[in-house]
Structure 1
Amino acid sequence: MFTGIVEELGEIVATEQLADAARLTIRGKLVTSDAGHGDSIAVNGVCLTVVDVIDGDSFTVDVMAETLNRSSIGGLTPGAKVNLERAAALNSRLGGHLVQGHVDGTGTVLARTPSENWEVVRISLPDAIAKYVVEKGSITVDGISLTVSGLGVSDTPAADGNRDWFEVSLIPTTLSMTNLGTAAPGTLVNLEVDVIAKYVERLQQRG
């Protein structure tokens, strides 16, 4: 379990194809400082298990086919910046919201609108998860806990085929400490909706 508060902006050091899986080596001195084999670290919002720690500042993870197909992880290349967060401790504050690290789908950055003190980013929203997203509710974008500031439907689909979209407003801290600060239109991002909404729907379906 995570909180969606990014601890460190890491970097992909190397990628390796393993049959239908992949192995990534990621540099992140802070999250690696107390990491060991079997620990969980969220990489762009994807919960991954540490396979090995290298030189005290990098770690390796294996990514299975399901994760590669559902997230943007498979498209990462050496030099790419990634949001990193260690699993939440029970004695720490929950600064964001409950994040599982289980990506529900991907969206595409559609537009960025800067202002003096923040920046509004519009992201496409897959139809399959659009029903779980509400204005002023929480959503996880590449591992970042954010508040939905706007929702809408376009007359024509975006390049990824999605008509629905949502907007988030990013403060300077988020812009400087996460990879959303440099995510240009066309960038693919991982999305995780609030798990509570999915549980409520399931309970209603089962009566």
Structure 2
Amino acid sequence: MFTGIIETIGRISDIERAEDSIRMHVTAPEVMEDAHHGDSIAINGVCLTVTDFDAQGFWADVMQVTLDYTALGSAEEGSRVNVERAMSHQSRFGGHVVQGHVDGTATLVNRTPSENWEIFRFTLDNPELAKYLVKKGSIAVNGTSLTVAEASELGEQQQWFGISLIPTTLEDTMLGDLSIGDSVNIECDVLAKYVERLNGQR
């Protein structure tokens, strides 16, 4: 389990491509001090398993289903990525429950700057996910725990949501790197999915 509080920005330093998977090396020395084989580390919100590591970073295998359903399918060597280790029992719970199980992707369609923050608007690549988004609710965007500032009505033709990012978030995560048209991983609040499941059983 993760909190969505990004620990550091890493970099994809190598990608080995196979027919139905990739092997990815992420350089992130800040999180390697207590690394072990089999550890879970979230890269842009995708929970990956450490298969090998050194002092500078780690290797992880990414299967085809992950490439199909997340933005890691378009990953390139040199790309900066958000990195968070799995939560320890001694950690503060500073964000919200993030599982590292990405629900889908969204596309950045607008960045509106202001004096003290910047508003990002995304369209959902899978409109069905809109039912899990609510104003002032939680969402993880590339693994970053954020608050939904605004969201489309369910009946609208295009489903979208907006988030407001303060300068610290723009600097301490890779979200500040995003350009119009870029794809991001999103994970909806798991509580909303449990509520839907329970309501469906009545």
What is the CA distance between 1:206 and its match in structure 2?
1.7
Alpha-carbon distance, 1:127 to partner? 1.1
Is 1:205 the counterpart of 2:191 in the alignment?
no
Counterpart in 2 of 1:41? 41
Counterpart Cα distance in 2 of 1:78 and 1:140: 23
Q: Deviations over 1:109-133 (max 9, x none)?
A: 0100011111000011231110000
- Give the gaps of 5 or more residues in structure 1: 158-162
Question: What TM-score comes out, normalization by structure 2 length?
Answer: 0.96
Partner of 1:85: 84
Number of the residue aligned with 2:174: 179
Which residue does 1:18 correspond to in 2? 18
- Compute the displacement of 1:182 (Å): 1.6
AA aligned to 2:82 is N
Counterparts of 1:60 and 1:206, CA distance in 2? 42
Aligned residue-pair number:
201
Q: Does 1:53 align with 2:48?
A: no
Matches within 5 A, 1:92-171: 92-125=91-124, 126-152=126-152, 163-171=158-166
Residue matched to 2:70: 71
How far is 1:18 from its partner?
2.4
Alpha-carbon offset, residue 92 of structure 1: 1.2
Separation in 1, partners of 2:175, 2:140: 12
> Does structure 2 retain, via aligned residues, the 8 Å contact 1:9–1:82?
yes
2:190 to 188, 191, 195: 195
- C-alpha offsets along residues 147-206 of structure 1, whole Å, 9 cap, x if unaligned? 0001126x997xxxxx11110000111000111112011010000000011011111112
Q: Percent identity over the alignment?
A: 52
- Per-residue CA deviations over 1:41-92 (Å, capped at 9, x if unaligned) read 00000000000002x0110000111111100112111110000000001221
Consecutive unaligned residues of structure 2, counting only runs of 5 or more, are none
Distance 2:93 2:193 in 1: 20
SS at match of 1:102: coil
Supply the RMSD in Å over aligned alpha carbons: 1.6
Q: Distance in 2 between matches of 1:79 and 1:127?
A: 31
User: Could you list the runs of 4 or more consecutive aligned residues of structure 1 that deviate by over 4 angstroms after TM superposition?
Assistant: none
Give the whole-Å Cα distance in 2 for the aligned partners of 1:131 and 1:206: 18
